[in-house]
Amino acid sequence: MSTDQMRPILLVALAFVGFLLWQAWQQDYSPRPAGPASEPAGTSAQRSENGAVPSVATAPGPDVPEVPEPSVTSAAPGGSADAPSTAAGVKAEGIDIRTDLFRARILLKGGTLAAVDLLRYPVSPDEPDRPFSLLAESGAKLFTAQSGLVGKTSAPNHHAVYASEKGSYALEPGDDEIKARLVWSEGGIKVTKTYTFRRGSYEIGVVHQVENNSSEPWGGRVYGQFRRVAPNESRGLGQIYTYTGGVISSPEKPYEKYDFDDMAEQDLSRDITGGWAAMIQHYFAGAWIPASDVEAHYYSKALPSSQYTFGVVEPGFTVAPGTTGSASLKLFVGPKIQRLLEAAAPGLERTVDYGWLFFIAQPLYIGLQWIQSVVSNWGWSIIFLTVLIKLAFFPLSNASYKSMARMRKLQPKIVSLKDRYGDDRQKLNQAMMEMYKKEKINPLGGCLPIVVQIPVFIALYWVLLETVELRQAPFMFWLNDLSTHDPYYVLPVLMGISMFVQQRLSPAPPDPIQAKVMMAMPIIFTFFFLFFPSGLVLYWLCNNLLSISQQWYITRRIESGAIK
């Protein structure tokens, strides 16, 4: 293979490694957003036309005033003087929920969904009885789902204190749902906040019912928001960067990231019809989903200690004296399984972030999922999908390997030309081009087919990285989790050996420096892949083995004269 032919392949390989290293550097060393010096408002539920937040005094009727975040030591506003008494023995601070999918906790302060453990997703295969905590109410993992009502008159926001007649709910055999009710009352206004958990569903209904027993109309808005600490964790070599932060959706932009740096720089303020607001991370997501036919307001706010709120508020509604009205939001909290996300809200499946190659990655995911439904093993699914991809690109790779084999056959002549022209690169390249023309060989024929396949390889990389179904999915023998690195490093070493064998089958670059760099590539890739998820390394190893088989067969046929 000529120097000109080898350069594009080398650049593609180095660019791919550089891309992964850049991602790791961004996650480890990019500056984290700092909390503001003074404590701002926590929820800007409505803004006037010029962008200002209306005050309580000037907010007309159902318009929503700013809801201030209290300091850590201050007491929450609101009360429950007319609420039913709490049953004996009930924990005053919250309600425990147990379903087939969740172990959750709702705080009486604000009716906040403050903790959610996902029972079907253990933290690790070694701790199968310890579920992964997606929502947590304190510490470095703070991530809660707050909701409430705000208005000109009495309304329970996420600082109000509710009461409940039960301290715990459990989904019993034969039950399809749990309705956990919390009650708040003040000044003739009674609000019943109901959480609905359904069997087999990660969607949670949140309804605020307002009973107006006063003599004046009541007006307000319902909102839902996430409160979260910006992640600032050091990562091990086995952890690859994936996006953690906010996402909003609109008909114009179905998937728009709004990360913690954006929130620290400027508050989000957007009116959208038919959207949703999500806070996502690797494998899991939370999303507030308003009614699809209303224009809702989407907002964010930076708080002290690198905390942020990110949410949505629906249009206002009015409840006349002596009547009852209600407003609702839907909340999704769970794994990023595409069919469940798509059922929850249009476009929510885009939170499975495949990057800009999603249009290639999505068909690959569908194919991988279909294969898994047949073989019932994600490891074998990766292998079979790799085989199908190789078959799809067989004509291209066949042409590539034929070109490489012919170039390999010409190596002695290329070395002879180099000895003849020495350091005169212009004459050397001219002589080589004349030789290629005479032998009817395209010097780029070996690299162009490879370049065409690069987008598919990168797209599959993201599919294997983002698919939650691969989390803790076993393959065989010692590989009990395809989403983590091989504990004995067998796959990375085999992958490095396969790269070395591939190089031996390819013509060596005549340039000594490039030859040394190419010889170092298997070592570099082996070290880098030591800490890659084993599912990704399995794919790369299988692809290399298939390529070696095809390249060896074609090279042997051309060198024997069976193929001209």
pLDDT of residue 205: 96
- In sequence order, which residues have a C-beta less than 8 Å from that of residue 517 and are 6 or more positions away? 10
Domain architecture of the chain: domains with CATH = 3-23+361-559 (no CATH), 31-353 (2.70.98.90)
In this predicted model, what pLDDT tens digit does every residue of 27-64 receive, in sequence order? 433 444 343 333 333 333 333 333 333 332 323 333 33
- Angstrom distances, CA of residue 136 to CA of 139, 141, 285, 294: 8, 6, 13, 31
pLDDT of residue 50: 30
Query: Which residue has tokens 């749990």?
Result: 178
Whether pLDDT at 85 is above 70:
no
Least-confidence region, from 101-105, 124-128, 226-230, 323-327: 124-128
Q: How confident is the model at residue 235 (pLDDT cuts 50, 70, 90)?
A: low
- Angstrom distances, CA of residue 335 to CA of 128, 157, 225, 318: 17, 28, 19, 36
For residues 343-358, b (16+ Cβ closer than 10 Å) or e, as one string? Answer: ebbbbbbbbbbbeebb
Whether pLDDT at 239 is above 80:
no
Average of pLDDT values for 122-130? 88
Rounded to whole angstroms, the Cα distance separating 35 from 42 reads: 13
Share of residues in the chain with pLDDT > 90 (%): 45
Backbone angles phi, psi at 439, to 5 degrees: -85, 0
pLDDT of residue 440: 65
Between these two residues, 312 and 416, which has the higher pLDDT value?
312
Phi-psi region of 158 (alpha: psi -120 to 50; beta: other; left: phi over 0): alpha
Residue 50's SS3 state is coil
Rounded to whole angstroms, the Cα distance separating 437 from 443 reads: 10
The pairing of beta strand 113-124 with beta strand 203-212: unpaired
Task: Please give the single-letter amino acid code of residue 489.
Answer: Y
Whether pLDDT at 421 is above 80:
no
Whether pLDDT at 527 is above 80:
yes
CB 61 within 8 A of CB 152: yes
Cβ atoms within 10 Å of 334's Cβ, excluding its own: 25
pLDDT of residue 296: 95
